[in-house]
Amino acid sequence: MAAFTRNVLTGLITTVPIVLTFYLLYWLVVSAEAVLGGVLTRVLPADWYRPGMGVVTGVALLFVVGVLMHNYVVQAIFARGEQLFYRIPLVKMIYPALRDFMDYFSPVKKKEFQQVVVVTLPGGLKALGLVTRADMERLPTGFNDSDSLLVYMPMAYMIGGYALLVPRRDIAPVDMGMEEAMRFILTAGVTGGGAGAP
């Protein structure tokens, strides 16, 4: 019975991430087609619409938004409008968390996470972190020690994290990509193992 249970759990652990990944992709495709496809059927002549045009339109819209967000004026307008989400009750509790999570995968934000490092904590404990700022000049007085780096220490399972000012002597670079480090940290070390990991 123990062997049966162990094999069932192994099968579950193996298949659930695959199923959830494909289900998420399926949900995104179906949602895009349902919303944008419905709009297209009302806008286009009856004979023009074909299944899948909603998904293609969604990808095209995302591409256009991505291009526009490289424009300084659009960025400023978006930033000003985004401030509303930080003031609306309930929304301000959800939106920042989702925004921060998506920023982990942003090609722009990746430049800000300059280096994956291991931080030596009191007692000899070590933790992985992401250097978010090496230039301390623009930080508030008292928090701009030039002998330190600002390191973001995410907590497991996306519960939160800390921005710590860490002395350079307590920091050592790690040969690990940001994505690998985030997987390692967010799953409490269950997945990921740095360079050379399977």
Would you state the pLDDT for residue 195?
47
Q: What is the pLDDT of residue 113?
A: 55
Among 182, 187, 184, 181, residue whose Cα is nearest residue 157: 187
Instruction: Answer whether residue 138 shows pLDDT above 80.
Output: no
Model pTM? 0.50
Taking CA atoms, 78 is separated from 68, 73, 100, 106, 143, in Å, by 10, 9, 16, 16, 29
- If you average pLDDT over residues 128-141, what whole number do you get? 74
Residue in the block written with tokens 């020690």: 145
- pLDDT at residue number 158: 60
| Confidence check: pLDDT of 188 > 80 | no
Task: Give burial (CB, 10 Å; 0-12/13-18/19+) of 182.
Answer: buried
For residue range 141-163, what is the model confidence (pLDDT) as tens digits? 777 677 788 888 877 766 677 78
- Band (64; pLDDT cuts 50, 70, 90): very high
pLDDT-derived band at 193, boundaries 50, 70, 90: low
148 by Cβ neighbours in 10 Å (0-12 / 13-18 / 19+) ranks as buried
Provide the β-strand partners of residue 172.
Answer: 118
Q: What is the pLDDT of residue 197?
A: 43
pLDDT of 103: 66
Q: How far apart are CA 17 and CA 72, in angstroms?
A: 38
Residue 106 confidence (pLDDT): 64
